[in-house]
Chains A and B, each alone.
Chain A
Amino acid sequence: DAGVTQSPTHLIKTRGQHVTLRCSPISGHKSVSWYQQVLGQGPQFIFQYYEKEERGRGNFPDRFSARQFPNYSSELNVNALLLGDSALYLCASSLATHLEQFFGPGTRLTVL
């Protein structure tokens, strides 16, 4: 069975630009979460979605937004990119909000 997939694998943007990252969950999983991982640190929780509704939000500015589609895939959008947004962005899926999460390989975003 396919695991969590994310696209693109790598991305280079400049300050002020906008970026959209995509995630497809494991088949049958209805919950998707997004994390930011800066080099040398643990993942930081950004959002959790379940059945297209936001069910959790971390301490990130409003420049970060996300949505979940009827097929349970998800997009993370980041506006007005800053140098500090450079990180590995991870998507995780789970059957439900309180169950174990399985991570994708991540999207490496570099902001110049």
Chain B
Amino acid sequence: GQQLNQSPQSMFIQEGEDVSMNCTSSSIFNTWLWYKQDPGEGPVLLIALYKAGELTSNGRLTAQFGITRKDSFLNISASIPSDVGIYFCAGQLTTSGTYKYIFGTGTRLKVLA
């Protein structure tokens, strides 16, 4: 199935470090969403972005909707052990009044205490 390019695929970082991940596509999206998923559970919404250039924060998390509407990034500052998990980006396409959501391949984050 179709998936967005998300990088890095995985990363190990030390507690307290900042983390950056991004998502790119060849398609133009109307909405970008960032989720975190723990094993065996559903994704939890972190941040939603609705306008090109929009920069939004949620605690230690900051995400931006790319100007071209084809990319987005997520930053996590001062990482802590509970940040461990898989982070997914998701973009929404609108075509002729129908909607489609495409998820990224995921970034697996591991934090070393």
Contacts and interface: CB of A to CB of B under 8 A. Distances in A.
A4 B41 CA distance: 12
A42 B5 CA distance: 11
Closest 9 CB pairs of A and B: A42-B103, A103-B42, A100-B48, A56-B99, A44-B1, A45-B101, A56-B98, A103-B43, A105-B42
A73 interface: no
Interface string B82-113: 00000010101010011111111110000000
Contacts, number: 72
A56 B48 contact: no
Nearest to B35: A103
Interface string B10-33: 000000000000000000001101
A105 to B, nearest CB: 5
A4 B42 CA distance: 10
A34 to B, nearest CB: 11
Contact of B1 (A48, A58, A100): A58
A98 B104 contact: no
Q: How large is the interface on A (under 10, 10 to 19, 20 to 34, 35 or more residues)?
A: 20 to 34
Interface string A68-112: 000000000000000000000010100001111111111010000
Nearest to B3: A42
Contact of B103 (A4, A43, A59, A97): A43
A24 interface: no
